[in-house]
Every structure is written in C-alpha cells, then in structure tokens.
Chains A and B, each alone.
Chain A
Amino acid sequence: MRRAPWRLAAVGIVIAAACTQDVTAPGACPTFCPSAVLTVIDTVLAGAIIHDSAFGRPIGFVNPYNATSLLAANLPGVRDSRPIFRTARITTRMSISTTDTTTGAVTGVDSLYLRFTITRRDTATHNLRLSVFSLPITIDSTTALPDLAGSFAGTPVRTINIDTLVALPGRKNTVTGDSAVVDSINNRVTVLLSLDSSQAPFSLADSGQLAFGFRVDADAQPTIALGAFEAGLGPGITWFLKVDSLGVVAHRSQTPTTAFDSFVFTPAALPLDSTLAVGGVPSARSLLRVLFPRSLISDSSLLTRATLELIPALNPTGIAADSFGLVASAIVADFGAKTPLDLTHVDTTIIHVGVYDTVRVDITRILRYWAADTLAPTAIELFQVPEGADFAEIRFRPSADSTHRPRLRLTYSPHYPFGRP
C-alpha cells in the first residue's frame, strides 16, 4: 500500500494532462459541415444621412490667430498670405547687481535676434527667400492684408535666403550673424535673424513692443508654414539691451513672449452655402446625422466594413501641396456648431487637391461603436487635419441633393442561424 499514493498521483497527473482538447478540423463541406454558413452582404444605404449642417464661417473652429501654423504664400492670382506677429512688452528696468535688487533703466538696444521656425515647405520650393517687414504694433485679429498694404509696400527690414543660409558651413553667416538650426527628424528649420538697433529700434513709449510681417518668395511654389505660438514654435525676438547702471552701461538680454501671431491673406474664404464645407481658413466643419441601421447591425461584430461616400460639390480648392487629411469623428452630443467630438472613435482619409472623385471615408470603427453603444448619438462630424493650417477646403453635396447625397456603404454579416443543425 505504500506505493498507492504514487499511483494515485500518477492517475491525477494523467487526468490533468488529458484535460485539453483540439476539435478543429478542416471542413468537408457541405456534407460534414453545419448546414448554415456565414453570409456577407454589401449594400449601399442611400438614405442613411438624414440631416446635415456646415459650420465655421465667418468665425471658424480654428482661425488664423489661433492656428498652429502661420501660412505664407505668394502665388499671384491665386493666393497671397503673410504671417504677422507682435511681441509682448519688456520690462523697462532691469537688475544691475548680482548681490541686491537694485535696477537700472533700459536706455537703448545693442542688437536683437528675430527667431522663427519653418515647419512645412513644398519640396518644389527652391531658392526660398523671406522678407521681414516692420508693422504697426496695433495689429490684432481683425487686421486684414489690405490694412497692411502700406507696411508691406515699404522696404523690408531684412531679406534672407533660407536655402543659402542652410547651405553655409555651420549654417551660420559670419558676416550678418544669421544662423539656422535644422531639425531633420521633424523637418523643421529654425532661423535666427540678426537685427541691429536701426532695423528694430527700441521704443520706451511702446515698452519695446515690436511687430513684424513676413513675405515669402521662391523660384517655384513659394508656399511655406511657420510655427505658431499655439504650437510652441511661435516667432519671437531676443533683445540685447543697454541698461543704466549708475552712469555706466550694463548689458542685459530679454526674450519677451509672443503677444499675438496670425496671418493675413487674400482672397478671403468663401461663405458657407447649402453644401457641406470642410477645412479652409477659417476652418469649417460639417455635421452629418446618420440613420443607423440598427435592424441590420444589431451587434458590432456583425459589421466588417462601413464606408461613408461623399460626392464633392466642387473640385477641392488649393494647390497640390495643400492635400490634407479628412477626419470623420463620432460625437459626444449633438449641439450643432458646438458639438463636442468623441476623438476616441475617428476615421481618416486623405483629400488630394486637384482630384475630383467621390471621397470615401472608412468609418467602420464609428459604426461598430454605435452598434455597441445604443445611447451614442449617431452623427458624424467631418473636419480637416491639421485644422486651420491649410487653405484647401472641400465641399460635398448635402443630403438635400437627392441624386448626389452622402451615402453609407455597409459590408456586414446577417445573424447566423444558431440553434439549427
């Protein structure tokens, strides 16, 4: 009997080891397969979009003054856009001692650096030149390009050839003091432009506030984007100042924040009409209310593909470099123009400027979400990415257009007839 525990243990091990199964076999169909098979239906629901609206003009969801990019373009007859910015005031008294808090008055300026970052440029843009113009410090979000015609008509403070500067050894011009830093990972070029006191005079009355504007030129496709304050890459200056230190001149520096940046352009964006506008500047969005076919898609796992088909009302406006992403997003609640987006359920496609074709957005994720959450509002908001950083816009035919309305194309599987051999 002393061996009995080992025998019992062996039996237990055999039982435990045997507790697995593999019953999957290639089907010898139809003879030895379940009589029912999974079927897949592909159908177009022409009436699935029941209401729609476009929002975003004249005030856009993103406007030039709160965009993440400052657009510069010089395409005669097509578009003229110029970034502008204004610096914040500086403190007019600065510390002159390292041991106490004694301050001295700012009396003048030695020099300053103007800093800006090119975040996007067309690969066809060559011999890229930027001209910097001094602008009145009264510029704000209501300023338009015609308001600055006089300032831009004058002589630029500086004109710099970006390609030449980047090609210099060390990317530094030892004569002018200009330099560039190239971020090849993010495809950015940050330029430090050296100005003297005559090009950027210090005004005590203005507390050192300055405003500048940029005009871009190139041999071809003069269109670029500068980083904006909203992206943490806004243009700015660094002052090298003279400070009165008990009759002796002390040298101090200040880097004020960007008080305002924007871009002014012509022609102005077209107003909204009955079509579904998406993109442009100011940026527009369109809201599509969907009659979700819950009778067909009662469970999210039944849906294998869903495509929103949109027919453009006009050829997408812009230049080839303006191709942009079109995002279809679920929403949290339908509040019209103020609809909050559900950015955890989005689908995207690319709109190619110059191509006129039906736009198809795969919205499988959104419709699966609707099938799973029956309380979710069945509406889709269309918007552009990056929003407000691209002049291109597209306009689609609305649901009121009975022949070219937006459509929903579904590929789904009807319920499998479980409970039958």
Chain B
Amino acid sequence: MTTPKQQRQRILYLHARSPNILSEVVGAALHEPLAGAVAEIEPEAVELPYASVHAAVVDGWRVVQFPDQRGRFEDREIDIIGYEFILEKIEVYDE
C-alpha cells in the first residue's frame, strides 16, 4: 500500500539587516513540515541558507510576511536583531 503524496508548507524565517530584500541575512530558522522537526541552534559553524531574502526568492521561496517598516522607533536603544521576513515553499512530501 502506498501513502498518498502530500503538499506541505516549508517555513523559513530570515532576519535581514534592513527591510530591503537585498540586504544581508544575519539570522535564519528553517522549519520543515515533519512531525517533531525543530529548528536547532547549531554550535558548530553553520552557513545561513541564503545571503539575502532576494536570493531565497530566486530559489523559489515566497515571502508571506514582510517586516513592519513603521515599527516603534527609538533612536537611542536597540532591541531585536534584524528585520524578520517569513517565507514559504510548498513541496510534495512522500512520507
């Protein structure tokens, strides 16, 4: 008996240096649509999957959420790192 193939959503958080999609990616978390999958923090040297959001789009990812450019502005304090883009890629899984 064969298991039917399923379309599933891969989710990728990319934290870019600025809201510009060409700016450098400084953080990433890839969530695979598999039960129990966790985006681990890797203590060994790790390459971020893309250098920019644009590079991810070129590779077939779709941006589903853009960072809010009108966020709170504080010209003295700093808070989170980068600007968060959320991307998806729909792929067929045969589990």
Q: Do A and B bind each other?
A: no
Please report B residues at the A interface, Cβ cutoff 8 Å.
none
Please report A residues at the B interface, Cβ cutoff 8 Å.
none
